[in-house]
Homo-oligomer: A and B are copies of this chain.
Amino acid sequence: MIRVSVNGYGTIGKRVASAILAQPDMKLLGVAKTTPNYEAFTASKLGINLYVPESSIKEFEEVGLKIAGTVEDMVRNSDVVVDATPNGVGAQYKQLYQLSKRKAVFQGGEKSNVADVSFSALCNYSEALNKDYVRVVSCNTTALLRTICSLGKVSKVQKVRGTIVRRAADPKEVKKGPINSLVPDPASVPSHHAKDVNTVLKDLDIVTMAIIAPTTLMHMHLLNVTFSTKVSREDILEVFKNTPRIILIRSKTKVNSTAEILEVARDLGRPRNDILEVAVFEDSVYTSGNEAFVMYAVHQESIVVPENIDAIRAMTGFNDVDTSIKITNSTLGIRGGYII
C-alpha cells in the first residue's frame, strides 16, 4: 500500500483525498489544513485525519477539531504527498518534502520547474516513472492534453489554435468576479495554456487565447486542430468514443450547455456532481480538409483528479500505464462513450 497524504484540503485536495480512499493500492494517511473552515469540519465528520501547522494547533482545538499531528508529522509518515496548496505555496513546501526525503505531486498552479516532469496520464505517463517530483498540469491544460493526445491517434497533429472560455470562480468562491463582464485573461496572446501544453508536448505548434466569463460551472474550449493529413469526422468521433476520460454529449439528449451537463451528473449520482472526463459536444466535431474543430466543456474542480492518482502510481514505480488508468477509471466511475 502506498501511504499518501494530501497537503491542502480545498477544491482539488478534498477530491484527491476522496479518490485515494477509493484506490485498492493506496492508503490515505490524512490531510493538512491551515484554517478550521467548513472543509476541515467536513473532513473530520468523514473520519479523515487532520494535520495542521504548529501555529494552527490552538485555533483548531478552540473550535473542537481533533488533530492527528503537524504537517511535518504527516509528511514524514507518507510515501507520497499530494500538494494541493494554493498557487505558488507548493513551491514553498517543496523544501519540507525534500528535507523529509518524500516524493510529492504538485498541481498546475505551480511553475513547471517545481518538478522533474509535467504530467498528463494519456500523454507521458512513462516520463513520471520513479520521479520524486511530478507536476500535474492545470485543469485547462489537462483537458487540452487529453484531447490533443487522443486526436494524435487519428493523424499527426500539426497545429492547434484554441480559445479557452474560463469560468470566473468555483461555486464556493463567493468573493471572486466578474459577475457581468468578459475579461481577456490575459489580453495578450498566446495565453499561458499553450506554453503549459508545451511542457508535455514539447514540439507542438499551439497558440491559445483565453477570456473569463461570469459562470462558476465549467470552462469551455473551442479548438481548431490542423493535421498532417485529411481527416474525417467519423474517425475523430471513433477515437473520442473509445477514449475513457473523454465523454460525448449527443444533441438528441438535449444537453446543450454546461449547466445541463452538471445536471446530468447530479441525476446520475456522481459524487459532488463531478465530471472527471472532457465533455465533448458531439455536434461540434467538424472537419474540413486537414482541419478539425471541436467544442468541449471542462469541469475545473475535478478534471485533474485521475491524473493525480496516476502520477502517484508512476512515481512509485508502477510501470503499466494502461492498468493504472484502468484502475483509476474504474474506482472513480470514469467513463468513455456517451454520458447518456
Residues of A within 8 A of B (CB): 161, 163, 165, 167, 178, 180-184, 186-190, 207, 209, 211, 213-220, 222, 224, 249, 251, 256-260, 281-286, 288, 291, 293-295, 297
Judge whether A293 and B189 touch: CB under 8 Å: yes
CB neighbours (8 Å) of A224 from chain B are 161, 207, 224
Known: A187-B295, A215-B214, A281-B187. A259 touches B161 (CB 8 A): no
CB neighbours (8 Å) of A260 from chain B are 181
A152 CB, nearest partner CB in chain B, Å: 20
CB neighbours (8 Å) of A213 from chain B are 165, 182, 213-215
Judge whether A165 and B182 touch: CB under 8 Å: yes
Determine the distance from Cα of A134 to Cα of B285 in the docked complex, in whole angstroms: 35
Judge whether A284 and B180 touch: CB under 8 Å: no
6 A-B Cβ contacts within 8 A? A161-B161, A161-B224, A180-B216, A182-B218, A188-B286, A207-B288
> Taking CB as reference atom, which chain B residue is nearest A205?
B288
Query: Which 3 pairs, one residue from A and one from B, show the smallest C-beta to C-beta distance?
Result: A181-B259, A213-B213, A189-B286
CB neighbours (8 Å) of A181 from chain B are 215, 217, 257-260
CB neighbours (8 Å) of A187 from chain B are 249, 251, 256, 281-284, 295
Judge whether B188 and A283 touch: CB under 8 Å: yes
> Taking CB as reference atom, which chain B residue is nearest A285?
B189
Determine the distance from Cα of A267 to Cα of B330 in the docked complex, in whole angstroms: 57
Judge whether A215 and B180 touch: CB under 8 Å: yes
A253 CB, nearest partner CB in chain B, Å: 12
Known: A181-B258, A182-B257. A220 touches B211 (CB 8 A): yes
A340 CB, nearest partner CB in chain B, Å: 15
CB neighbours (8 Å) of A190 from chain B are 286, 293
Q: Which of B180, B188, B220 contacts A182 (CB 8 A)?
A: B220
Judge whether B284 and A188 touch: CB under 8 Å: yes
> Taking CB as reference atom, which chain B residue is nearest A213?
B213
Judge whether B182 and A215 touch: CB under 8 Å: yes
Judge whether B186 and A283 touch: CB under 8 Å: yes
Judge whether A214 and B211 touch: CB under 8 Å: no
Known: A161-B224, A224-B161, A286-B188. A295 touches B211 (CB 8 A): yes
> Taking CB as reference atom, which chain B residue is nearest A262?
B181
Determine the distance from Cα of A282 to Cα of B259 in the docked complex, in whole angstroms: 33
Determine the distance from Cα of A178 to Cα of B217 in the docked complex, in whole angstroms: 12
Extra contacts, 6 of them, besides A165-B165, A209-B295 (Cβ < 8 A), are A181-B260, A182-B257, A182-B297, A187-B249, A189-B294, A213-B215
Determine the distance from Cα of A297 to Cα of B283 in the docked complex, in whole angstroms: 27
Determine the distance from Cα of A178 to Cα of B220 in the docked complex, in whole angstroms: 15
Judge whether B251 and A211 touch: CB under 8 Å: no
